[in-house]
Structure 1
């Protein structure tokens, strides 16, 4: 078993996540969660027991009303600290993950989308809204989109480094393409 100081364990966690090519946001989130855990518990990460970790999780779930996905992030970060930073067996620390609530997404109707598009007088903004909606782009995917990612001949949009650092292709709607010649290449 490796031993480190509190800050050293956090630094090793950061390096491990970066080495595994986790996204910048995930690295920051996991390090922030483990830093907060160490600060609140007043204990170095390597000395935390399973029951202390569970007590902490229970406390923050009850007091702050943390979502199941945030609790899962805590568990995932704690698992990496225990197994990859401290070299322990996960079976000794294994924690059941909370059930996620299953909610249906709010999807705008065609009429609502048409109203949203038509209310906007700016052609560029209209094209952006239409592209995001018709191609199913996430906010960051839209922000990182470049003109050469739009292939009007093949009616495709290339999404580079989307969620999970994954590249993908999505459809380019003919109606979106007709709105503006800016998308044509």
Structure 2
């Protein structure tokens, strides 16, 4: 490891970034250096500009990928090197307003029942039942479950924040049965060897179950979180409460779940019945 990379890693750790984000940011600077075959601290402003043009016009990276490069490289120059790069202030990927992929309640059940290994099926069940991010779900410990109050403690979620989320009695009973049969001997609810199950392993299991179920949607494990929030909206829970459960910083993020849901669409069609009956060809 070069001295620069070591210093950037330490700066990211001191700033409180997660190991995953740290790896991603360091990798952006590594790709930048490899592109020019030179140490990144020797690059000019114009070369940095050309690199982002390359990412956009030649590699055609997505908005989210460009944003990771922007954040990683900006951190390296402004925090580690203490060097201001004006060009980075104009690199702003155009926002993409996409609705999340959502599974119906029946589709969620269809997918989950095709997961054979108990540890993966229970992990996916709790991720859906509590609206968790995959990173939050796989790291759950037995001490995070408050069965008396029907709550689950999510530790160090996005932004390093802890939060409590409701744990319904039915998934709680499923979790207790699972733990009695499979979970003992580890502090983690979903253990794998001496640690917890890996996110990529859980994604692989989910994709296989999705394919077997015949549900034709581009869903991932994170889709379970989107589906949970959408189903809460369908059942009339206010958006402010959903924001707190999901751990969003801004209500703007949560508002994406006010898209057309199945029940809203059904009510619209009822309203349209009278309006459209008299239409003729």
TM range, smaller chain: 0.7 to 0.9
Partner residue, 2:91: 96
Give, in whole Å, the separation in 2 of the partners of 1:30 and 1:123. 35
Q: TM-score, normalised by structure 2?
A: 0.56
- Provide structure 2 residue ranges, at least 5 long, that are not aligned to the other structure: 180-281
Describe the shift of the 1:136–1:52 C-alpha distance in structure 2 as closer, same or farther (beyond 3 A): same
Supply the RMSD in Å over aligned alpha carbons: 2.6
Q: Does structure 1 residue 10 correspond to structure 2 residue 9?
A: no
Q: TM-score, normalised by structure 1?
A: 0.81
Match runs of 1:1-185 below 5 Å:
7-91=2-86, 93-119=88-114, 126-179=121-174, 181-182=176-177
Q: CA deviation at 1:139?
A: 1.9
Query: Is the partner of 2:164 in helix, strand or coil?
Result: strand
Structure 1, residues 86-143: CA drift from partner, whole Å, max 9, x if none? 2223547533321231211111111112333445577665544332211011222221
Describe the shift of the 1:80–1:126 C-alpha distance in structure 2 as closer, same or farther (beyond 3 A): closer
Tell me if structure 2 keeps the 8 A contact 1:157–1:172.
Answer: yes
Give, in whole Å, the separation in 1 of the partners of 2:63 and 2:15. 24
- Provide structure 1 residue ranges, at least 5 long, that are not aligned to the other structure: 1-6
Give, in whole Å, the separation in 2 of the partners of 1:180 and 1:16. 40
Structure 1, residues 54-110: CA drift from partner, whole Å, max 9, x if none? 211221233332111221121112222222222223547533321231211111111
Give, in whole Å, the separation in 1 of the partners of 2:88 and 2:138. 40
Tell me if structure 1 keeps the 8 A contact 2:129–2:167.
Answer: yes
Q: CA deviation at 1:24?
A: 0.8
Tell me if structure 2 keeps the 8 A contact 1:151–1:157.
Answer: yes
Describe the shift of the 1:49–1:145 C-alpha distance in structure 2 as closer, same or farther (beyond 3 A): same
Describe the shift of the 1:31–1:108 C-alpha distance in structure 2 as closer, same or farther (beyond 3 A): same
Q: CA deviation at 1:156?
A: 0.9
Tell me if structure 1 keeps the 8 A contact 2:118–2:178.
Answer: no
Give, in whole Å, the separation in 2 of the partners of 1:151 and 1:28. 33
